[in-house]
């Protein structure tokens, strides 16, 4: 999401406002502040940008992201992938690794050993999320 904000916000102050709106939405959905900061920093580091973003260099860094060559998306063979959605929880960082460890331990020698699980996260459907969703409409 932050990547979209960077691409669409040509003015630094607009970028800051949108980033803070995202932060508030994530906090209301019970994401930890440390996790949010890691994800925001990951977007910049994905494009090899390690310097602090400010009003003076935002335009240059934004152009660097916009002009970055995009990878071709990997095509999905639905007979070789399984999609698993789980509800967000506080120990989200450990869950994917634990899931893959269990998958490999129990299914490595089974007929579905060549099936690759893809994990997806969904938020808890609660009043806060409902209020955020209706506020944006």
* pLDDT at residue 124, as a whole number: 63
118 within 8 A of 82, measured Cβ to Cβ:
yes
Looking at the chain, the whole-number percentage of residues with pLDDT higher than 70 is 85
Q: What is the DSSP letter of 11?
A: S
**Span of 7-11, 57-61, 67-71, 128-132 with lowest mean pLDDT:** 128-132
**What's the rounded mean pLDDT across residues 51-74?**
84
The whole-model pTM stands at 0.52
- Give the integer Cα–Cα distance in Å for 84 and 18: 30
**Span of 45-54, 55-64, 93-102, 118-127 with lowest mean pLDDT:** 118-127
B/e letters for 39-65, b = 16+ CB within 10 Å, e = fewer, are ebeeebeeeebeeebeeeebeebbeee
Instruction: Kindly report the backbone phi and psi dihedral angles of residue 15, in degrees, each rounded to the nearest multiple of 5, phi listed first.
Output: -60, -45
């Amino acid at each position: 999401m932050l990547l979209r904000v960077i691409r669409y916000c040509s003015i630094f102050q607009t970028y800051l406002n949108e980033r803070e709106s995202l932060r508030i939405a994530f906090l209301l959905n019970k994401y930890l502040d440390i996790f949010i900061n890691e994800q925001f920093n990951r977007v910049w580091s994905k494009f090899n940008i390690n310097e602090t973003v400010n009003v003076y260099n935002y335009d240059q860094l934004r152009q660097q992201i916009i002009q970055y060559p995009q990878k071709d998306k990997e095509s999905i063979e639905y007979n070789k992938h399984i999609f698993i959605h789980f509800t967000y929880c506080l120990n989200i960082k450990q869950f994917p690794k634990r899931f893959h460890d269990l998958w490999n331990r129990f299914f490595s020698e089974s007929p579905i050993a060549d099936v690759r699980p893809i994990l997806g996260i969904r938020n808890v459907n609660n009043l806060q999320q409902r209020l955020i969703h209706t506020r944006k409409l």
